[in-house]
Amino acid sequence: MHDRINIAIDGHSSCGKSTLAKKLAKELKYVYVDSGAMYRAVTLYCIQNGIINDAYAFNEDAVIESLSSINISFNYNKVAGDSDTYLNGIRVEDQIRELVVSRNVSAVSKIRKVRERLVHFQQKLGKNKGVVMDGRDIGTVVFPDAKLKIFMTADVDIRAQRRFEELSGKGHSITLEEIKENLISRDFQDSTRIENPLRKAEDAIELDNSYLTREQQLIQVKSWAVDRIAK
């Protein structure tokens, strides 16, 4: 029996990190953790409690203060076959994907105290290995020793189109332009922030999936994982 490893998947917004990470975790019988969902849940809490009102300007101290009232957990959803995000015991899996959250989440995730809290939680989840986690700083900060690090990217128009199809399929009313604008803005904010910016770890393998099917991506990353697990 080989030792289990942690797998870090970072990259640009909406390039299919979570879809791939979930499938890979399932194949390996590992646990999938969506770190972006945690930043989204903090953002949602602040919106629900009037700390953020989609004006892009909010009091950072109030966000930090709210952290002590926020409990994030993941619970298995039998029907969907994966786990859902809960905020203080309430399922928020759909709400955290709304545009109002996407518009504010990069600003919230810039705050050092927010990052410290969530990184600590993420590291605890990975303590026993066997975790596939996706995000922006997993290979660089959360699991710098991860045995496999993948950095995903794809053409921005292709990403916007995929996201558009996904969200409109779920009934969200949103335009392709709004999505593209949000992707570009988040990538810029996430890569230029001072605290743990999005960057490719030196030992990460880059995966540009612009022209790869989901199946092709899974075959590729699974072979990398099997190789690293065997070492």
Interface residue list for ligand DC (CB under 6 A): 13, 35-36, 39-40, 105-106, 109, 135-138, 186, 190
- Residue 210: what residue type? S
Q: Tell me whether residue 126 or residue 135 sits nearer to ligand DC (CB atom).
A: 135
Q: CB–CB of 221/11 below 8 Å?
A: no
Q: Of 168 and 189, which has the nearer Cβ to ligand DC? A: 189
Nearer of residues 52 and 105 to ligand DC, judged by Cβ: 105
CA distances from 123 to 105, 128, 139 (A): 21, 10, 12
In the complex with ligand DC, the residue whose CB is nearer, 101 or 225, is 101
What lies within 8 Å, CB to CB, of 116 at 6+ separation is none
Find the shortest distance in angstroms from Cβ 97 to ligand DC. Answer: 8
Q: How far is the CB of 169 from ligand DC (least distance, A)?
A: 17
CB of 2 to ligand DC, least distance (A): 27
| CA dihedral of 179, 93, 147, 195, whole degrees rounded to 10 | 60
Q: How far is the CB of 136 from ligand DC (least distance, A)?
A: 4
**Of 208 and 227, which CB lies nearer to ligand DC in the complex structure?**
208
* Residue among 171, 191, 189 at smallest CA distance from 181: 189
Three-state SS annotation for 34-100: EHHHHHHHHHHHHHHCCCCCCCCCCCHHHHHHHHHHCCEEEEEECCCCEEEEEECCEECCCHHHCHH
Q: How far is the CB of 165 from ligand DC (least distance, A)?
A: 16
